[in-house]
Chain A
Amino acid sequence: MTGAPILQVEHLEMRFGGLVAVHDLSFAANRGDITALIGPNGAGKTTVFNCITGFYKPSTGMLRLVTSDGASHLLERLPDFRIAQEARVARTFQNIRLFPGMSLLENLLVAQHNTLMRASGYTVLGLFGFGSYTRAEAAAVENARYWLDRIGLLPRADDAAGELPYGAQRRLEIARAMCSAPELLCLDEPAAGLNARESAELEDLLLFIREQHRTSILLIEHDMSVVMRMSDRIVVLDYGTKICEGTPAQVRNDPKVIAAYLGVEEEEVDKVEAEVGL
Chain B
Amino acid sequence: MTEQSAPAAAVPSRFPAALKSAALSALVAFGLFSLIVGARTDQGPTGALIVFPRLDDLAWLAGVVFAGSFLRTLLFGDAPLQVSRHFPSGVKRIGARLSRFAAPALLGFALIAPLLFYSNRYYLDLSILVLTYVMLGWGLNIVVGLAGLLDLGYVAFYAVGAYSYALLAQNFGLSFWIGLPLAGILAAFWGVLLGFPVLRLRGDYLAIVTLAFGEIIRLVLINWQSFTGGPNGIASIPRPSFFGLPFTDDEGGFAHTFGLEFSPIHRIVFLFYVILALALLTNWVTIRLRRLPIGRAWEALREDEIACRSLGINTTNTKLTAFAIGAMFGGFAGAFFATRQGFISPESFVFMESALILAIVVLGGMGSQLGVAVAALVMIGAFELLREFAQYRMLVFGFAMVLIMVWRPRGLIGTRVPSIFLRKEKELPSSMVAEGRR
Using a CB–CB distance below 8 Å, which chain A residues touch chain B?
53-55, 80-85, 90-91, 93, 97-103, 105-106, 109-114, 116-117, 120, 123, 126-127, 129, 133, 137, 141, 144-145, 148, 154, 157-163, 176-177, 180
B284 → chain A, closest Cβ, in Å? 10
Q: A84-B312, A90-B310 are in contact. Are A99 and B304 (CB under 8 A)?
A: yes
| Binding site secondary structure of chain A | helix
B289 lies within 8 A of A127 (CB): yes
Taking CB atoms, residues of chain B closer than 8 Å to A148 are: 422
Closest 10 CB pairs of A and B: A101-B433, A84-B312, A162-B432, A85-B312, A99-B303, A157-B422, A116-B293, A97-B307, A103-B418, A160-B428
B170 contacts the other chain (Cβ, under 8 Å)? no
In the complex, given contacts A113-B312, A123-B294, what are 9 additional A-B residue pairs having Cβ atoms less than 8 angstroms apart?
A81-B309, A84-B312, A101-B428, A106-B418, A110-B311, A113-B313, A114-B313, A127-B289, A133-B292
A84 to B307, CA, bound (A): 11
Partner pick for B420 among A83, A109, A133, CB 8 A cutoff: A109
Chain B interfacial residues counted at CB < 8 A: 38
Is B311's CB under 8 angstroms from A105's CB? no
By a CB distance below 8 angstroms, the chain A residues around B313 are 81, 110, 113-114
A163 to B430, CA, bound (A): 11
Docked pose: A221 CA to B306 CA in angstroms:
21
Which one of B310, B418, B420 contacts A91 once the chains associate, using CB atoms below 8 Å? B310
| Chain A residues within an 8 Å CB radius of B432 | 100-101, 160-163
Q: Are A99 and B300 in contact (CB under 8 A)?
A: yes
Q: A113, A133, A162, A177: which contacts B296 (Cβ < 8 A)? A: A113
Taking a contact as CB atoms under 8 Å apart, the answer to whether B434 and A106 are in contact is: no
The listed residue with most A CB atoms (<10 A of its CB), out of B289, B304, B313, B422, is B422
B residues 170-216 with Cβ under 8 Å of A? none
Q: Is B418 a contact partner of A158 (Cβ separation < 8 A)?
A: yes
- Asked whether, in the complex, the Cβ of B289 is within 8 Å of the Cβ of A90, the reply is no
Residue in chain B with minimal CB distance to A54: B309
Contact of A101 among B285, B309, B312, B430 (CB under 8 A): B430
Q: How far is the CB of B43 from chain A (nearest CB, A)?
A: 55
User: In the bound complex, do residue A100 and residue B306 qualify as a contact, i.e. CB atoms below 8 Å apart?
Assistant: no
Is B314 touching A81 in the complex (CB atoms < 8 A)?
yes
Contact of B297 with A by CB under 8 A: yes
B315: Cβ under 8 A from any A Cβ = yes
Pairs A–B under 8 Å by Cβ, sample size 24: A81-B312, A84-B309, A84-B312, A85-B312, A91-B310, A93-B307, A97-B307, A97-B310, A101-B428, A101-B433, A102-B299, A102-B303, A106-B420, A113-B293, A113-B311, A126-B292, A129-B288, A137-B420, A141-B420, A144-B422, A154-B422, A157-B422, A160-B432, A177-B311
Digitize B264-297: 1 where CB-to-A-CB distance is under 8 Å, 0 elsewhere: 0000000000000000000001001100111011
**B85 touches A (CB below 8 Å):** no
> Given known contacts A101-B303, A105-B420, is B292 in contact with A127 (CB within 8 Å)?
yes
Chain A residue numbers with a CB within 8 Å of B422 are: 105, 141, 144-145, 148, 154, 157-158
Answer yes or no: B429 CB below 8 A from chain A CBs. Answer: yes
B387 touches A (CB below 8 Å): no
Q: Cβ of B419: which chain A residues have Cβ within 8 Å of it?
A: 106
Taken residue by residue from 40 to 75, chain B's Cβ proximity to chain A (1 for < 8 Å, 0 otherwise) reads as 000000000000000000000000000000000000
Interface residues of B in 407-431 (CB under 8 A from A): 416, 418-424, 426, 428-430
